[in-house]
Homo-oligomer: A and B are copies of this chain.
Amino acid sequence: MDSWDEVRTAFQVARLGTVSGAADVLGVHHATVIRHIDALEGKLGVKLFQRHARGYTATEAGNDLLLVAQTTDDQFAQLAGRLRGRGASVTGELVITSLATLSPMLAPVLAAFRAEHPELTVRYLTGDRLFRLEYGEAHVAIRAGTAPEQPDNVVQPFIRQALALYAADFYKERYGLPKDESEFKDHYFIGHDTETRAPFNIWLRETVPIENIVYRTADNRSNEDGVVAGAGIGFLPVKIAERYSNLTQVAPPRPEWSAPLWLVTHVDLHRTAKVQSFLTFLKAAARDWEV
């Protein structure tokens, strides 16, 4: 059965009883209908209809086909309805991936977005490995660093996350706070263990003597924990630091410290209402994360 269109044609003929009627419904010429039927009967080796001058009447085989094709027609109609609706509405799954750092900021946004769209299921993926948009693993990715340049991805600038230097009360009581940058050499800092291309990290290594970077971590979460514990002065996103009452801002955020974030979507999904709707929502919510 390798031609579903012919089944569809036969279905309409069986339903309506005439070739001409079926041709009208299908929007094709009646000759086409006749040829479809002939072809189908030839392939199946069964007569589906008895031909007479007043129309086609279905044989037993034709009636059997009618029943099967009727349900198919119904199911396809339902499917088309669902699919067309899905294209224009915000339902189903929305899969977001980002660096784990952004989780505290993103979580309330995702929760609010889902609250606006009750039929939506949010999947928020963070992890060490990069989730690949190309394979449908996510609808939207938030990436840091230099602009990704993969061909099938739609990349747009998001925000520059405001970063500032913070010290915990424990540190302040023990070592005091630097009044300005010139006193940094007399203080202890928290930095990345490995040399990264992150702007604030480069700035840190250029400004502070390497021996003053006394607490080094491998990931952002550990870095945050170190700052909060008073292991040294360290960089934190402003939005994160605001969550702790025991932190004092040592220096206000500067643009040159922050790496740009990028919103990345797959080109196939970028135009969908679901993705567009979320992007708009996200950008509005992120306005005050900016430097």
Contact = CB atoms under 8 A, between A and B. Distances in A.
Contacts of A146: none
Interface string A74-88: 011111101110111
Give the residue among A8, A49, A58, A71 with the most B Cβ atoms within 10 A: A8
Interface in A143-189: 152
Contacts of A87: 44-47, 61
A54 B134 CA distance: 9
A4 B272 CA distance: 24
A45 B87 CA distance: 6
Interface residues of A, number: 53
A58 to B, nearest CB: 8
A225 interface: no
A260 B10 CA distance: 39
Nearest to A274: B60
B75 A68 contact: yes
Interface in A113-168: 133-136, 152
A136 B57 contact: yes
Given A49-B268, A136-B57, A152-B51, A75 B71 contact: yes
A211 interface: no
A58 B65 CA distance: 30
Nearest to A137: B57
9 contacts: A1-B76, A45-B83, A45-B88, A50-B266, A60-B93, A61-B83, A64-B79, A64-B86, A68-B79
